[in-house]
Copies of this chain bind each other. A is one copy, B any other.
């Protein structure tokens, strides 16, 4: 039996979007491919709220994160981490011989703007890498406040991981001043995994031009220059199936209206949070909760694995806690195409199983 995925990615994909994954192939050097990919970039510019270029990569979001930190650090990168995916930026830097320092806070906390100010104020860094929405903890960093600090340091390129938030929450990329904003298909955009996208600001382009040895497949500058020259065709054969599905899904998204979409996500989040507060506790900083996934403290000492097994029999899946938070927390994702009714149906089933 298929399980409806209330996990923080891959998400449940709508049937009509899935069907677009089965479209017959076209040549990747055809005018049709150019027009498809150009159209996707144009629509993603609306979702990202940016006038900068959009790059597509046949990879997971991690691929573009690696490309970004490698291509855009000339001096030293400051990586701020609030969980598992924040730390990944740092590993990527080290694995690519990119000078970097890791600034971590306790899991469940957000990054404070003053902390960013203190670190960037040392003058050691020309890049900051930050997670917007950390699925391992359910915390969303206060990027509005952080943006004000980063703007004080015009030499710093800002890379932001919005893998699990873009499309589900309002992220005005240009207004914030994010230089490389990265997302992935399998989260709030509501597609299967396999495609990543990022914005690429003029400042980031200029920086990359001054960085040598940026690699090949994940070199953001190579992608950028190729699509300028070849009318939105990519150096390597891209996942055309994902392109068909993303183009279609973006049309649906813009039809729904981005503000309606964000509102829907907030409604779902608030419903889950209220339920969690009543029956358990919410994990982490209540002032910086994620709009796409809620992490719940297992204050009742239930077996999360058993709960998920029972839910599985009823056609639902939620997530256990991540890494060291396993069984101590559990996670319910509320993103992409789900509605409040889907969330209510899940919660009713959890209530029934746990006799709440």
Tell me the A residues contacting B by CB distance below 8 Å. Answer: 2-3, 5, 7, 9-13, 18-28, 30, 58-63, 66, 88, 91-92, 95-97, 184, 186, 192-195, 213-219, 235-242, 317, 319
Contacts and interface: CB of A to CB of B under 8 A. Distances in A.
A91 B240 contact: no
Q: Please classify the interface of chain A as helix (H, G, I), strand (E, B), loop, or mixed, using the class held by over half of its residues.
A: loop
Number of copies: 2
Contacts of A58: 58-60, 193-194
A9 B192 CA distance: 22
A317 B29 CA distance: 12
B22 A217 contact: no
A238 B196 CA distance: 11
A192 to B, nearest CB: 5
A137 to B, nearest CB: 17
A13 B22 CA distance: 10
A313 to B, nearest CB: 15
Given A237-B9, A239-B239, A59 B66 contact: no
Contacts of A97: 213
Given A2-B24, A22-B21, A25-B11, A63 B237 contact: no
25 contacts: A3-B26, A3-B27, A5-B26, A5-B27, A10-B25, A10-B26, A12-B25, A21-B241, A27-B319, A30-B317, A58-B193, A58-B194, A60-B217, A60-B236, A60-B237, A61-B236, A62-B217, A184-B237, A192-B241, A194-B195, A194-B240, A194-B241, A194-B242, A218-B218, A239-B242
A5 B26 CA distance: 7
A235 B62 CA distance: 9
Nearest to A70: B215
A92 B321 CA distance: 39
B22 A22 contact: yes
Which 10 A-B pairs rank lowest in CB-CB distance, beginning with the nearest? A194-B239, A60-B236, A22-B22, A193-B237, A21-B21, A62-B236, A18-B22, A10-B25, A92-B216, A63-B217
